[in-house]
Structure 1
């Protein structure tokens, strides 16, 4: 898990309800995908349901998404979460980690799905393309590859 997340609290959605979780405990031994996205971004709104289907198919035992919002307001973030997102984690609106993670992982545009290993090193900057390619590669195989690349 990325050093930047150690000891931090992040939000976890479960059955539509948000609660704080300890990032270190919750992300232990999981492949983590940082999802940089925003409600105002049409390509993001197209990709989010695809990622949600992927997430629901592979489950959250070995995999977790952290939504890193580029939304312009807390209300936009809440609307986007409620309308389209899966039961995954997110950073609260305005959290300083949003900027830190986007700079650390050199996010140049959204949507971006950056898959990281437990040390926070990038496994792929191209997670979006790999998830979108699930029509030819089953989600379970994509996750299996990411787990192997992460040493999990």
Structure 2
């Protein structure tokens, strides 16, 4: 599934939203991992209820304290929000290990 994102830009969920924009960087972060694709809209009550559960699940499965092979899971967040402010507000409280499809990239939001 990592091939789906080759040639695309993904962002790290950090303050600067650093880009993973080369195929080598993407492969290092995605290949041979279980990829979770999370499509969500911050204003949706279902997404608001589910997000803390997913955050806890992801945190435990990527924390070396809980599991031996913590690096085998990658999550890519794909926003369904209509404006960037809602998107930014939502991801601010999510794990920094999440990767993001840039808000401007509408290819995955259709």
Give TM class, smaller chain.
0.7 to 0.9
* Number of residue pairs the alignment of both structures matches: 98
4+ residue stretches of structure 1 with deviation over 3 A?
A: none
* 1:56-79 deviation line (CA, Å, top 9, x unaligned): 101050001111100011111000
Does the alignment pair 1:75 with 2:82?
Answer: no
Per the normalisation by structure 2, the TM-score is 0.78
- Listed as ranges, the gaps of 5+ residues in structure 1 are 103-152
Per the normalisation by structure 1, the TM-score is 0.58
1:4 offset after TM fit, Å?
Answer: 2.6
Root mean square deviation of aligned Cα: 1.8
The match for 2:11 is 11
1:17 offset after TM fit, Å?
Answer: 4.9
Structure 2 matches for 1:48-87, cutoff 5 A?
48-59=51-62, 61-83=71-93, 85-87=94-96
1:19 offset after TM fit, Å?
Answer: 1.3
